[in-house]
Each structure stands twice: as C-alpha cells, then as structure tokens.
C-alpha cells in the first residue's frame, strides 16, 4: 500500500512538471509571436476626416452592395458624434482591423486571424458561431447572421454589385477592408488607395473624400502623409487594441470652408 | 380527486407519473431543439448586443453544479477521506449528467452545430474558450471512465454481459489516477469559464482577475450542495436510495463554512473592487444593485443564495433538521445559478460606446423567447430523467455501497456510523 502511494505521488509530480514545462514553453513562444508587429510588405490603414464627413451614409450603402450584406446587418455604421462650432460631426465606423484584435485572441477555432498586411480576416468556413468575438469586440463591428440572407439585395445594382459570397446563417461577419479588391488590384499592378479598382468600396464612393486608404509602410502614400502632418485619434485608444482606422478630428474652420464649397 | 383517479389506474404510480411528466418536457425540448436547428437562432431573443443568454447560463450552471464530482473525488482519492466514497459516486454520476447537459445546451447555442467538431480539431491556444473546450472534452472522458463502475451496476448488463460489466467495474481500480486528472482538468476549466468573461476589455464589469476565483469557488460550493441535496431528496422519495446521514450532514457543514469566504470574496468583488466610476463598470454594478437584475442579485444570489443557507447550515439545529438542510442546499444551488445569470447579463446589458463626444453608456434588455425556454427545459428534463433512472437502476445514491462491492478491488472499509 505504501509503495503504491509513493508511486502515485511521483507520477503526479512528474506529470505536473512535464505538463507545466511543455505548456510554459509553448505559451511563451506563442505570446512572443503574437506581440511582435506584423511583418507584411504593406500595412493597410484608413484615415477618416471628420471635418469632411457629412454623415451621408454613402459608404454604408456601397459597402452593403459590394459585400452583399443583408439590410439588417451593417459592416459600416455612421453615427452622429456631437457638435463642434455649430457643425454636426459624425463617426463612420468600419472594422478597426486592430493590431491586437480581441476577436482574434478569443476565437476558439482560429476562424478570425491576421493577415500579414494587418487585415483581420474571418474564415466563414471554420467558424462555429459561438459569438465570443462579438462579445469581445469593443467597437460592435461584428454582426451575426441570425437569419439566412435570401432574395435580392435592395442596394444592388444602384450602389454596386456583389464581389464576395454571401455568408451562411449562423456565423458573425464584419468589414474586411475589401481585401478582395486589394488583392486583385495588387496582382494587376495597381496601388490601393490611388487606383479605385484596388481600393475599398466605401473610400471610392465618399463624395467629400472624407475616407482615404493606403499603405502605412509607404511614406509617400496619402494616409502616411496625412498622419504625419495632422493630429489624429483612434477609437477607444485606451484599450490598446491598436486600430488601423485613424480619424482626423473635426476642425470648425475647415468645416466652414467645406460647407461653402 | 387525483388520489381517486390514481386508485382507478393502479399502474399509474408516482414513478410512472414522474417519468410521464419528464417525457412531456423532453418532447417539448426536442420540438424546440428541432425548431432551432431548422429555423436558426433568429427565433431566439438573442441580439447582436446580447448574443449570450439563457442557454449560456444553463451551460455555465450545469458545469458549475457538476463540480461536486471533481471536488469529492479529490477528497476521497487524493486527500484520503475514504468514507465519503459513496457520496463521490453520486457526485460523479451527477457530473456526467451535468457535462452532457452543458454540451447539449452548447449545441443549441452555437450558430453552426454541424461544425461542433471544429472546436476540437482547430486550435487557437490563445482562446480561453479553446482551453475550456479541451478541458471539458477531456474531463467528459474522465467522467465516463469514472462512471463505468456505476453503470456496471445495471442488472440487465450484469446478467446479460457479465464479462463487460466486470471490465467496467475494473475501471474503479484507476480511480485515484482519474481523480488526479479530474482535479487538474476541473481546476483549469471551472476557473477559466470565469476568465472567459474576465479577459474582455470591452466589458468593464467583467474585466478583472477575480472572475476565475469566484467561478471556481461558487462551483465547488454549488456542486457539493447539489450532490447532497439530490441524495437526500432521492432517499425521501424512493427506497432504492439509501443514505448515511452523518456523511451528508458533515458535507452540508462544510458547505456552510465554505459560503463564508465565498460571501467575503463576492462582497469584496462587487461592493469594493468595482467602486471605481469607470464608464461601464459602475453602470454594470448599478444594473445589479438597483437595476433590472437587482432582485436577482440581492434576493436570489446574496440573501437566499448565500447568507440564509450559510446561517442554516452553520446552525446545528437547522443543519440536523432534514427539511431545513435541504432547503438551504437548494438555495445554494439556486444562488450559484443566479450568479451565472447575473455575471452574463450585467456585462451584456450595459453597452459602452466607442464614440467620442457621446454619452458613454447605453442599456439594452433581454428575456428568453419561448423556444429558448422550451429547449432549455428539455435539457433540464434530460438531466432529471438520467438521474432518476440512475437512482432506480444503478444504485447511484446508495451509501451502503462500498469499494468491496467491486470484485476487483480489495480495500478495507471503515465502519460507518448508522444514520
């Protein structure tokens, strides 16, 4: 009996130490991998100028058509965000494509993942629909397909034609920076942000050019230059999610000029 | 009138009526479940703001009140409190049922139940939910192995396939190893279920380290309470269940003491730690203390769920009184379930805005739809049916049952004190 007890204790010790060592090394490696910044050649970012945004919602409608989104689901949401100098301001909110995205960290099956260029992607074929990502996102950027989207999209063809497959019932979906337009454009030698065929639909359609898109790794891109020259902010920067969507704060003087033009 | 009716049909004894009642609930549950798989989650009252509701509470609660299995098995096989072995048997069987209930409600809750196996095949080791899934799946295997000797008690199996029944009883030989595995896996996932909420920065009322501690603590308290309560209730209702009351009284006494530190941690958690005026956190606390969850929090969770049973179980007279002990234990289980509900909704009902320059917090609401309740009742009815059958046919609650009954193991058994 006493032998038995001794060996049980040994067994416990060895197993515990072994498991802890393996798990420890793996976790440390993983943690290092996740904290290092992405290494892709391009680092896409969006800049939204609050002085220019009039809250017209064209971006949302183009997005709904190009990505074939059900009317009750919106990937891009435009909300009023207070007044400044007598001018109403708006915040247009696509997915922030966070550098440290809570949705990617929490996804149990790895259906949410980072691309090298910083885009946070959804693998709709892997997702089991647990909605942990939806609960984790501080920006409410994810919408769940509670129902199957059937029938015609009311915004097609006026606002564009679908470029990606409809998502099935039972998975959450979100803005993807129109990765399909970027990838196709790059293959054709185009520059996302400059050539419309390689640029997200919401940026193309904006009538006041409040939305700009480009590569942060390219110092001469419009987004890099704007962010160099102007003060900018990101939504809920306090959460250290590292959004790739930057906002230029509303400037009443500039808004006066915009109004007259 | 009912007695007259029953006298006419002697076959309709209370056992048959009970099974009939459970059968009705099972049919309702099955119909609701089929409706959910067919029509999708659109027929629930879940929304993009409250994506987790009744089923998640049911899932969390089933796992929590199954914690008697690992804690009592650890007490018996690792700490060496051998005399609690028959109670650990009951707890193990309840654990097996509870984890099956949890998996059933999860199958209802996920949007793509056809891909449930992705959770095991595709790994994201960063995700708390991945860790929980892994532990729950492995622990379910442990529970099945631990339950083998119990299922081997099925008389039909013993007569028809005595060899198989013999092998199944033999699994008892590995009980200490299974208890170690169960302890590790349970400590991991019982606390990680709290951490699932605790790591989310987006929900300030959840974002704190003590979530995992509280989940762990409440699970142990609730799990042992349910085991003792179910044993006492079975013994009252059927002669198939035999209990040694001194064992159950001691466990109830332990629960009473365990509620003291639990209440201390819970009070510290809610009334001191969250007193920060951080946007979303203060509002989440107010949803609990004076908002839509206040009755649930003050009455179901704190007063009836913790303070009153603590007094009833620590006071000798009420603890020794079967009725009051059972009432107290049932209230503890109810309090743990209320805690899971409160945690889930206090985070989801408060929506923290991402907009600068707007009011920081908005409120939303949630109440489960009929289909959600129906399917949930079905899951609960499954658990009750399984336990009832276990008591009747597998001697799940039988404190005369000791290790010597397993032919393969020879262990000296201490004499029990008669009840």
Question: Is position B357 within any domain?
Answer: yes
For B118, the closest of A8, A81, A128 (CB atoms) is A128
Contacts of B112 in chain A (CB under 8 A): 127-129, 168, 170-171
Residues paired with residue B361 on neighbouring β-strands, in sequence order:
B352
| Residue B413, pLDDT above cutoff 70 | no
Residues paired with residue A246 on neighbouring β-strands, in sequence order:
A47
The two beta strands, A143-144 and A120-122, are: unpaired
What is the C-alpha separation between A226 and B86, in angstroms, rounded? 73
Please report the pLDDT score of residue B364 as a whole number.
93
The two beta strands, A44-49 and A245-248, are: parallel
| Residue B403, pLDDT above cutoff 80 | no
> What's the complex ipTM?
0.89
Contacts of A150 in chain B (CB under 8 A): none
Contacts of B46 in chain A (CB under 8 A): 146
Residue B32 tokens, joined: 């609701």
Burial of B78 (0-12, 13-18, 19+ CB in 10 A): middle
- Please identify among residues 314-343 of chain B the ones whose CB lies closer than 8 Å to any CB of chain A: none
Collapsing DSSP to helix, strand or coil, A144 comes out as: strand
For A128, the closest of B40, B119, B123 (CB atoms) is B119
> For the residues B250-273, what does the mean pLDDT come to?
91
What is the C-alpha separation between B83 and A258, in angstroms, rounded? 83
Candidates A10, A72, A146, partner chain B, best to mutate (most B CBs within 10 A): A146
User: Within 10 A of B303 (CB to CB), how many other CB atoms are there?
Assistant: 14
Collapsing DSSP to helix, strand or coil, B342 comes out as: helix
Residue B195 tokens, joined: 């951490």
Question: Is position B41 within any domain?
Answer: yes
Residue of B nearest to A108 (CA): B130
Residue A79 at interface with chain B, using a CB cutoff of 8 Å: yes
User: Within 10 A of B415 (CB to CB), how many other CB atoms are there?
Assistant: 6
Which residue carries 């390219």 as its tokens?
A218
Please report the pLDDT score of residue A11 as a whole number.
64
For A144, the closest of B48, B180, B196 (CB atoms) is B48
For A144, the closest of B111, B118, B203 (CB atoms) is B111
What is the C-alpha separation between B46 and B369, in angstroms, rounded? 9
Burial of A41 (0-12, 13-18, 19+ CB in 10 A): exposed
Long-range contacts for B300-303 (Cβ within 8 Å, ≥24 apart)? B300/B334, B300/B335, B300/B338, B301/B335, B301/B338, B301/B339, B301/B342, B302/B263, B302/B266, B302/B335
Å between B239 CA and nearest CA of chain A: 36
Please report the pLDDT score of residue B172 as a whole number.
86
Question: Is position B174 within any domain?
Answer: yes
Please report the pLDDT score of residue B211 as a whole number.
92
pLDDT tens digits in sequence order for chain A, 261 residues long? 444 555 666 766 677 777 777 766 666 555 544 544 567 899 999 999 999 999 999 999 999 999 999 999 999 999 999 889 899 999 999 999 999 999 999 999 999 999 999 999 999 999 999 999 999 999 999 999 999 999 999 999 999 999 999 999 999 999 999 999 999 999 999 999 999 999 999 999 999 999 999 999 999 999 999 999 999 999 999 899 999 999 999 998 888 887 777
Question: Is position B163 within any domain?
Answer: yes
Degrees, nearest 5: CA angle B285-B291-B296: 85
Query: Which residues, at least 6 apart from B412, have a Cβ–Cβ distance to it below 8 Å?
Result: none
Please report the pLDDT score of residue B410 as a whole number.
40
Contact criterion met (CB < 8 Å) for B200 and A136:
yes
Residue of B nearest to A135 (CA): B51
What is the C-alpha separation between A161 and A67, in angstroms, rounded? 8
Evaluate the omega torsion of the peptide bond into residue A157 and state whether it is cis, within 30 degrees of 0.
yes
Question: Is position B407 within any domain?
Answer: no
Query: Which residues, at least 6 apart from B213, have a Cβ–Cβ distance to it below 8 Å?
Result: B191, B194, B265
Collapsing DSSP to helix, strand or coil, A215 comes out as: strand
Domain range for B381: 18-402
List pLDDT tens digits, range B22-45: 999 999 999 999 999 999 999 999
| Residue B8, pLDDT above cutoff 90 | no
Considering the entire predicted model, what is its pTM?
0.88
Please report the pLDDT score of residue A95 as a whole number.
97
Which residue carries 């939806």 as its tokens?
A134
Tell me the count of A-B CB pairs closer than 8 A: 144
Contact criterion met (CB < 8 Å) for A168 and B112:
yes
Contact criterion met (CB < 8 Å) for A136 and B122:
no
Please report the pLDDT score of residue B345 as a whole number.
95
Å between A119 CA and nearest CA of chain B: 18
Please report the pLDDT score of residue B222 as a whole number.
97
Collapsing DSSP to helix, strand or coil, A113 comes out as: strand
Please report the pLDDT score of residue B407 as a whole number.
43
Question: Is position B418 within any domain?
Answer: no
Distances (CA, A) of B58 to B140, B143, B199, B311, B354: 17, 20, 21, 27, 31
Contact criterion met (CB < 8 Å) for A129 and B110:
yes
Give the closest residue to B97 by CA, choosing from B415, B323, B345, B386: B386
Give the closest residue to A247 by CA, choosing from A13, A34, A5, A45: A45
| Residue B408, pLDDT above cutoff 50 | no
What is the C-alpha separation between A212 and A44, in angstroms, rounded? 11
Q: What is the DSSP letter of B82?
A: G
What is the share, in percent, of chain B residues with pLDDT greater than 90? Answer: 75
CB of A90 within 8 A of CB of A258?
no
Residue of A nearest to B344 (CA): A135
Residue A242 at interface with chain B, using a CB cutoff of 8 Å: no
Residue of B nearest to A113 (CA): B124
| Residue B259, pLDDT above cutoff 50 | yes
Q: What is the CATH number of the domain that holds B134?
A: 1.20.1630.10
Q: What is the DSSP letter of A156?
A: T
Contact criterion met (CB < 8 Å) for B354 and A105:
no
Contact criterion met (CB < 8 Å) for A102 and B196:
no
- Please identify among residues 212-241 of chain A the ones whose CB lies closer than 8 Å to any CB of chain B: 233, 235-236, 239, 241
Contacts of B129 in chain A (CB under 8 A): 106, 108, 130, 132
Question: Is position B8 within any domain?
Answer: no
Contacts of B118 in chain A (CB under 8 A): 109, 126-128
Q: A40-260, what's its fold?
A: Alpha-Beta Plaits (3.30.70)
Å between A131 CA and nearest CA of chain B: 7
Residue A121 at interface with chain B, using a CB cutoff of 8 Å: no
Candidates B56, B60, B77, B118, partner chain A, best to mutate (most A CBs within 10 A): B118
Computed over every residue of chain B, the mean pLDDT equals 91
Burial of B405 (0-12, 13-18, 19+ CB in 10 A): middle
Residue A252 tokens, joined: 């009443």
Question: Is position B419 within any domain?
Answer: no
Please report which residue ranges of chain A form alpha helices under DSSP H: 2-35, 58-66, 102-106, 132-136, 179-187, 201-205, 222-229, 252-260
Please report the pLDDT score of residue B85 as a whole number.
92
Residue A168 at interface with chain B, using a CB cutoff of 8 Å: yes
Sign of the CA dihedral with B192 first, then B196, B200, and B205 last: negative
Which residue carries 């089933």 as its tokens?
B62
The two beta strands, B361-363 and B350-352, are: antiparallel
Buried b (16+ CB within 10 A) or exposed e, B376-394: bbbbbbbbbbbbbebbeeb
Query: What's the structural domain count of chain B?
Result: 1
Residue B201 at interface with chain A, using a CB cutoff of 8 Å: yes
Å between B177 CA and nearest CA of chain A: 8
Contact criterion met (CB < 8 Å) for B355 and A81:
yes
CB of B79 within 8 A of CB of B153?
no
Query: Which residues, at least 6 apart from A245, have a Cβ–Cβ distance to it below 8 Å?
Result: A45, A46, A47, A48, A93, A94, A95, A96, A97, A234, A235
List pLDDT tens digits, range B280-331: 888 899 999 999 999 999 999 999 999 999 999 999 999 999 999 999 999 9
CB of A225 within 8 A of CB of A235?
no
Residue B359 at interface with chain A, using a CB cutoff of 8 Å: no
What is the C-alpha separation between B45 and B54, in angstroms, rounded? 10
- Please identify among residues 127-146 of chain B the ones whose CB lies closer than 8 Å to any CB of chain A: 127-130, 133
Query: Which residues, at least 6 apart from A47, have a Cβ–Cβ distance to it below 8 Å?
Result: A211, A212, A213, A214, A222, A223, A226, A227, A232, A245, A246, A247, A248
Residue A110 at interface with chain B, using a CB cutoff of 8 Å: yes
């Amino acid at each position: 009996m006493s032998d038995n007890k001794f060996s049980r204790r040994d067994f416990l010790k060895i197993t515990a130490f072994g498991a802890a060592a393996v798990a420890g090394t793996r976790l440390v490696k993983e943690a290092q991998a996740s904290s290092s910044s992405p290494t892709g050649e391009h680092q896409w970012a969006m800049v939204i100028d609050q002085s220019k945004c009039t809250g017209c919602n064209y971006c949302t409608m183009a997005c709904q058509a190009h990505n074939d989104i059900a009317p009750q689901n919106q990937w891009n949401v435009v909300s009023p965000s207070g007044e400044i100098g007598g001018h109403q301001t708006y915040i247009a909110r696509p997915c922030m494509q966070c550098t440290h995205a809570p949705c990617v960290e929490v996804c149990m099956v790895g259906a949410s993942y980072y691309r090298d260029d910083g885009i946070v992607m959804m693998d709709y074929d892997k997702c089991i629909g647990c909605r942990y990502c939806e609960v984790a996102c501080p920006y409410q950027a994810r919408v769940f397909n509670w129902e199957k989207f059937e029938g015609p999209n009311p915004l097609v063809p006026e606002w564009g034609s679908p470029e990606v497959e409809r998502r099935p019932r039972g998975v959450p979906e979100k803005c993807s920076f129109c990765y399909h337009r970027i990838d196709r454009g790059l293959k054709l030698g185009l520059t996302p942000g400059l050539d419309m065929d390689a640029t997200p639909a919401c940026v193309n359609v904006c009538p006041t050019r409040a939305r700009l898109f480009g590569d942060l790794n390219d110092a001469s891109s419009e987004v890099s230059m704007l962010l160099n020259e102007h003060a900018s902010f990101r939504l809920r920067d306090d959460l250290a999610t590292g959004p790739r969507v930057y906002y230029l704060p509303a400037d009443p003087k500039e808004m006066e000029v915009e109004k007259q033009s | 009138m009912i007695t007259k009716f029953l006298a006419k049909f002697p076959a309709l004894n209370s056992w048959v009526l009970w099974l009939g009642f459970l059968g009705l609930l099972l049919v309702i549950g099955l119909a609701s479940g089929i409706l959910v798989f067919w029509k999708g989650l659109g027929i629930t009252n879940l929304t993009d703001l409250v994506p987790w509701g009744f089923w998640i509470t049911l899932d969390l609660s089933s796992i929590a009140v199954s914690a008697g299995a690992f804690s009592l098995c650890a007490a018996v096989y690792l700490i060496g409190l051998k005399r609690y072995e028959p109670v650990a048997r009951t707890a193990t069987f309840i654990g097996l049922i509870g984890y099956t209930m949890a998996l059933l409600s999860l199958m209802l809750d996920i949007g793509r139940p056809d891909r449930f196996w992705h959770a095991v095949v595709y790994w994201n080791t960063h995700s708390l939910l991945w860790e929980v899934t892994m532990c729950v799946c492995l622990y379910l295997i442990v529970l099945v192995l631990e339950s083998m000797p119990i299922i081997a008690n099925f008389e039909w199996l013993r007569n028809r396939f005595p060899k198989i029944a013999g092998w199944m009883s033999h699994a008892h030989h590995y009980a200490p190893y299974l208890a170690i595995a169960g302890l590790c896996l349970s400590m991991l996932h019982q606390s990680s279920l709290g951490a699932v909420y605790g790591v989310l920065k987006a929900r300030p009322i959840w974002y704190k380290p003590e979530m995992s501690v509280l989940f762990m603590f409440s699970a142990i308290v609730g799990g042992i309470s349910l085991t003792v309560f179910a044993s006492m209730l079975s013994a009252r209702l059927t002669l198939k269940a035999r209990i040694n009351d001194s064992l159950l009284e001691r466990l109830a006494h332990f629960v009473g003491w365990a509620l003291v530190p639990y209440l201390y941690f819970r009070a510290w958690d809610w009334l001191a730690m969250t007193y920060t005026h951080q946007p979303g956190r203060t509002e989440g606390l107010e949803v609990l203390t004076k908002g839509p969850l206040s009755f649930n929090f003050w009455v179901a969770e704190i007063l009836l769920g913790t303070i009153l049973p603590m007094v009833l179980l620590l006071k000798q007279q009420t603890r020794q009184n079967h009725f009051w002990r059972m009432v107290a234990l049932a209230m503890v289980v109810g309090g743990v379930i209320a805690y899971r509900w409160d945690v889930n909704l206090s985070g989801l009902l408060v929506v923290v805005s991402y907009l600068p320059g707007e009011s920081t917090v908005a409120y939303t609401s949630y109440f489960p739809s009929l289909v959600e309740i129906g399917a949930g009742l079905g899951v609960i009815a499954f658990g009750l049916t399984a336990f009832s059958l276990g008591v009747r046919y597998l001697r799940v609650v039988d404190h005369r049952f000791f290790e010597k009954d397993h032919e393969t193991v020879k262990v000296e058994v201490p004499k029990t004190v008669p009840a």
